Amino acid sequence: MSKPPHRLPHQLDPFRLAEAGVLLSGSLPLAQLRRLTPLLADDQGEIRLALQFDIDELKVPCMTGRIEADLQLACQRCLEPYLYKVAHNLALAWVRSDLEIERLPTRYEPYLVEATPVMLNDVIEEELLLALPQVPLHPDQSCSSKVVANAPQSTTAAVESRANPFAVLANLKTTRKSK
Ligand SMILES: [Zn+2]
């Protein structure tokens, strides 16, 4: 039967975990991911993950699994936050050199391990960054920028009705000349 899930470690040796066939499952606070949080409208919440470490039939140390998170992204059209659900299936191969990357079956995304231990946060963060849209945008119907575009152009009118400071300057000049 399957082994009981381990508590999530901060640091891990992916090669050892692969040898041992470990399943990691649990959740991480979003606020821990320092490169991701600046892209979020709200860093509350958590990432749910289930990651199976394994050595495949070609003797490739790998990790397959799923990451899920409900992210609040800022829409780049109206700047309002909106919910973006990430449900990302991943298949990583742990490699130690570029040479190993070339030999990998194409179903894997390589993860180059320059030194162990590896920080679990870094791995998860890179996967989440890959899963984000390049330009975060509301789905069309729910974007409030449409409402602004259809509204009467009241803001423009307000600006134009204000006294023009350059006009005042021009008046001053003519007064001087006339003396
Ligand atoms: Zn929007």
**pLDDT by residue (tens digit) across 63-114?**
999 999 999 999 999 999 999 999 999 999 999 999 999 999 999 999 999 9
Ligand 1 centroid to residue 83 C-alpha, Å:
11
Which segments of the chain have a pLDDT < 70?
A: 1-7, 146-179
**How wide is the angle at C-alpha 84 spanned by C-alphas 126 and 110, nearest 5°?**
20
- Domains of the chain, residue spans: 11-150
Ligand 1 centroid to residue 127 C-alpha, Å:
25
Instruction: Specify the length of the chain in residues.
Output: 179
Ligand 1 centroid to residue 142 C-alpha, Å:
7
Ligand 1 centroid to residue 148 C-alpha, Å:
11
Nearest to 54 by CA among 88, 14, 26: 14
Q: What is the pTM of this model?
A: 0.74
How far apart CA 177 and CA 171 sit, in angstroms, is 10
